[in-house]
Amino acid sequence: MKFFVDTADLAEICDLAATGLLDGVTTNPSLVAKSGRNFLDLVAQICEVVKGPVSAEVAATDFDTMLAEGRFLAGIAPNIAVKVPLTPAGLKVCKALSSDGRQVNVTLCFSAAQAILAAKAGAAFVSPFVGRLDDIGQDGMGLIAEICQIYRNYPEFHTEVLVASVRHPVHVVAAAKLGAHVATVPPAVLRQLFNHPLTDKGLAQFVADWQKTGQTILDNKRS
C-alpha cells in the first residue's frame, strides 16, 4: 500500500518525506486555505520535496474553466495529479486530461457506481471518502470493498483506489486488507501508525537493561 499525506503544511510534508515512507501528497482547497500560502507556489514546492504524485485541485466547476485550470496545474511539475470533482463536467475533464497523458485524481467519490465512471474516464486515482460516509451512518470501508472487488473484475481498469477522509489507523489497516492501492492520511494519523504501548514498554526495558551494563557502543569499539 502507498501512503500519501493529506496536508498543505510544507513543514509536515518535509518531515514525513524524510522518513522514506511517503509516496505522495494530496491537497484540497480547504487545506490550502488553512496554510495561508499562495497555492501555486506551495504546490511547486511540494513537488520538489515529494517525487510521487501531488494532487492539486481545480477551483472551477464548469468544464471549460476546469480543463484550462487542469492543464495549467499539470504544467507545474510532471508529478502533478490534477484533482477534479466527481461530476459530469469533472469526468469530462478527467477524460480529456488522461487522454493527454496527465494523471487525474477524481475526488468526492461516495458510491461504487461513481467509481466505475471514474475508471471509465481514465482516472489515475479515485478518492472515496470513508470518514464522511461513517459520519452519516454509512459503511465507508464497505464502499472500499465494493470498489476493489469491481476493479479486480476488469483488468482494463487502471484506476487506483485512493482511500480518503481517513480518521484513524483502523481505516488504514482495513483498507490495506481489502487491497486498496493508496491511503491518504493526515500527518497525525500517519504518525499514529508507529505507536503501540508494548513497543514503548519493550524499548524502555531494553534501554534500562543496557544502561546497567555500563557500556556504550560508539565509545567501546574493538581495537
Q: Does residue 75 lie in a domain region?
A: yes
Rounded average pLDDT over 135-148? 98
Q: Classify residue 146 as left (phi > 0), alpha (psi -120 to 50) or beta.
A: alpha
**Euclidean distance between CA atoms 111 and 88, whole angstroms:** 15
Rounded average pLDDT over 14-29? 95
Lowest mean pLDDT among 20-29, 118-127, 210-219: 210-219
The domain spanning residue 54 has which CATH number?
3.20.20.70
Residue 145 has a pLDDT of: 98
Q: Does residue 205 lie in a domain region?
A: no
Given 51, 83, 95, 212, the catalytic residue: 83
Q: Does residue 215 lie in a domain region?
A: no
Q: For residue range 164-210, list pLDDT tens digits in order.
A: 999 999 999 999 999 999 999 999 999 999 999 999 999 999 999 99
Greater confidence (59 vs 219) lies with 59
pTM exceeds cut of 0.85: yes
Q: What is the identity of the amino acid at 75? A: G
Q: Does residue 203 lie in a domain region?
A: no
The three cell numbers of residue 31 are 487545506
Q: Does residue 94 lie in a domain region?
A: yes
Would the pLDDT of 220 be above 70? no
Q: What total number of domains does the chain contain? A: 1
Q: Does residue 219 lie in a domain region?
A: no
CA distances from 19 to 5, 12, 43, 168 (A): 12, 11, 20, 20
Q: For residue range 103-112, list pLDDT tens digits in order.
A: 999 999 999 9
* 83 belongs to the catalytic site: yes
List the domain range (segments joined by +) for residue 38: 2-195
Q: Does residue 38 lie in a domain region?
A: yes
Q: For residue range 47-92, list pLDDT tens digits in order.
A: 999 999 999 999 999 999 999 999 999 999 999 999 999 999 999 9
Greater confidence (217 vs 141) lies with 141
CA distances from 131 to 102, 135, 187, 205, 215 (A): 28, 6, 16, 37, 49
Q: Does residue 216 lie in a domain region?
A: no
Rounded average pLDDT over 13-22? 95
The three cell numbers of residue 113 are 457506481
